Structure 1
């Protein structure tokens, strides 16, 4: 999936419905060039002035729909789902910040300040948990907020559900189900607290769609105690689980010892909503030693009758960080989409979509290298050509070339080192910036040769 940028671009976008096959050929050439020259602009990624002009004509063509480009990529992802018994649909929303003057008036607010400009994007990244494999994007919706409507979230209870931004969760599931057809039965949506919307939970249950959702509030339930969190706290502990909490900002990395509890629950419909109660399963993972420590209250459609099954649900939720890592690769760490400087929102969006799929490819590279066990067993030629790994060896190692290609793990670490990475945290995890810098330097060395 990662070898050869041109082949990857063809596999991803060959079925794009752009009205003219020549546009599809141009899309494939553009995506291949940008994937091959990661982080570079169209000008620097193109091989000639003719290529530059053709690429800009494509990006500026009003007849080309950004959603048509995206749909081709989603189709390419969908074809892999049937190969796996279980696939996690990891969902998250992020803001894309574009404050340059040329598109300022076409974009919406992204913070509490009216001066901020950008757009919102809601993505679903598919991941096979048992095979430790990132499949790709199956859904992404982009929109801009009306600057004049700032603050309307304070009146959220007064507006119909389908007029709220929170309808994005249901909309994304509908789009995903349409693309996957019968294979939707293999998919489990994994979402953070923002998705704890009763209409969304009802939709998923009514359409027999599986999910793991982190609870945002202690809902009313049919069981004794009447409130979800109080009921959960009264359950007998099924044992403990160690959860690794990574370093983030000013927070130090640590290992949390958590109590695991589980039970079937029946969620009541709020009094201001119409509908019946919803039967689900509840799993909690709450840190023992810290009152304000890790506290996960998870609601799921999966059958949970044992500690092992409860821990499986927790493991699924722990994988949600992968979609956040994808957003980092897209926005700043790999394709650097927020550095785009297009002269209209439509032009910007066409590039945003192309770079989203390239970011998935970069994310797959990082994730494959991070999995130490699997990466040691795979050849580095999964991601590097024969000449690329030999050049990397000559740059990083002192000995003569090995007869067999080294491992993917070796390539991952040494691309990072080429980019200035030092394992100061002793976790063997290369950061996005170092990985990107190393990849760029390797390409420069290759071009020189």
Structure 2
């Protein structure tokens, strides 16, 4: 999938019928479970996280597969009930210092099986899809146990009290954007009226997103400690949920926003101690890394593997395919990141030992005579391998040239796989 940037079984098999049949049998094999595939995500990051501060970012995406009334493929409803497909919940691990992608830590892939008649508020958390926001980080704790520090990051959807009550532990922190103006003990009784200290101003570049073009924004921040009150609808939980939880609040607001734009207002809640302005802006920087998981979903769908175009006939196989494609999308993003040499990952996470030998053999062929045309990265690093692949894909190699992106990597990988196959046959 990484080499061909596709999930089409015909393309993956190079048009060979035996390969197509083999892939199909793999996905149909009952011993190949989605649980095992998802568990396998963590193998890489378990090693890479050692001694680092890891930002563990989680989010959910809907994979909308084309269906008709006669051909629903066994898929359940997604969105507002119009489409049918699979839901992918993933936790992506980043190095907090560099933003380098370390790998996928945990997650879940499923399709809905009909509708639940019991009202949402009358069901326990264990019977709601919301539970994934707690079970995923709980599973990730074992995978990331070698990390020096972990900060789980999520957006407004999962600002639920149970998460604040159950997830934090020494070395495992939470950073979430508040969904509502929560009740607190301080000030006038809400987050919006809590007494906070000023943290100064900063100018940031906002990335484009649906309904909002990219723009430069001037932000001001405030910070302080607040005490969250347990919501009234959870009062029957008794001792299982603490009546109050103390957290830090960092409020970020935009000044002089364009007349046609909605001003930025983030109320970021975290279990980290925020005692000065520098730490407040550090928390803002960590939260802004959340965009990486949105890029991950785009790489999986429209901008990369085009997972939603799959024509597999059953939900069971589509769920497994999604789990495999998620890992491939993560690798593609690591290759793109490696082009600047900041990820510090090793080539072995993407390439086999035989392929790394091929890369060494190719290096003299793609390097130029001048210093500017030499591979500047440490041998056997992912950045070193990515530089060679980019050269094979048509990049000129000069530092001042436009950075190579996914399309260049795809072309380079396709060319490289052909060379590597021939290199394996050299002694036959």
TM-score (norm 1): 0.76
Aligned counterpart in structure 1 of residue 255 of structure 2, from 288, 296, 319: 288
TM-superposed deviation, 1:138? 0.9
Question: Mean alpha-carbon deviation: is it higher for 199-208 or for 138-147?
Answer: 199-208
| Cα pair 1:92 1:122 within 8 Å, conserved | yes
TM-score (norm 2): 0.79
Q: Which residue pairs with 1:360 in the alignment?
A: 330
Aligned counterpart in structure 2 of residue 122 of structure 1, from 70, 85, 89: 89
Q: Is 1:242 the equivalent of 2:203?
A: yes
Coordinate RMSD, CA, aligned: 3.8
Structure with the bigger percentage of strand: 2
TM-superposed deviation, 1:324? 1.1
Distance 1:103 1:310 in 2: 52
| Cα pair 1:86 1:129 within 8 Å, conserved | yes
TM-superposed deviation, 1:391? 7.5
Distance 1:320 1:206 in 2: 22
TM-superposed deviation, 1:447? 8.8
Deviations, residues 275-305 of structure 1 (Å, cap 9, x unaligned) = 4100001111111113831111100010110
Distance 2:326 2:5 in 1: 12
Aligned counterpart in structure 1 of residue 134 of structure 2, from 170, 173, 185: 170
Aligned counterpart in structure 2 of residue 322 of structure 1, from 287, 292, 296: 292
Per the alignment, do residues 215 and 45 of structure 1 end up closer, same or farther by CA in structure 2, a change over 3 Å counting? same
| Cα pair 1:416 1:438 within 8 Å, conserved | no
TM-superposed deviation, 1:190? 0.6
Distance 2:202 2:401 in 1: 21
Question: Mean alpha-carbon deviation: is it higher for 265-274 or for 300-309?
Answer: 265-274
Aligned counterpart in structure 2 of residue 93 of structure 1, from 45, 56, 60: 60
* Greater relative contact order structure (CA < 8 Å, 6+ sep): 2
Distance 1:282 1:142 in 2: 33
Q: Which residue pairs with 1:67 in the alignment?
A: 35
| Structure 1 unaligned residues grouped into runs of 5+ | 1-33, 421-425
| Cα pair 1:334 1:436 within 8 Å, conserved | no
**2:77 counterpart SS class:** coil
| Structure 2 unaligned residues grouped into runs of 5+ | 236-240, 378-382, 423-428
| Cα pair 2:7 2:307 within 8 Å, conserved | no
Deviations, residues 52-72 of structure 1 (Å, cap 9, x unaligned) = 332222222123212112212
Distance 2:3 2:211 in 1: 35
1:140-151 to structure 2, matched below 5 A, reads 140-149=107-116
Q: Which residue pairs with 2:153 in the alignment?
A: 190
Structure with the bigger percentage of helix: 1
Q: Which residue pairs with 1:264 in the alignment?
A: 225
Distance 2:408 2:121 in 1: 45
**1:263 counterpart SS class:** strand
1:6-405 to structure 2, matched below 5 A, reads 34-39=1-6, 41-46=8-13, 48-81=16-49, 83-100=50-67, 104-114=72-82, 116-149=83-116, 155-180=119-144, 182-183=145-146, 186-205=149-168, 209-231=172-194, 235-249=196-210, 251-274=212-235, 275=241, 276-290=243-257, 292-369=262-339, 372=340, 374=342, 385-386=359-360, 404-405=374-375
Distance 1:210 1:243 in 2: 25
| Cα pair 1:262 1:304 within 8 Å, conserved | yes
| Cα pair 2:109 2:323 within 8 Å, conserved | no
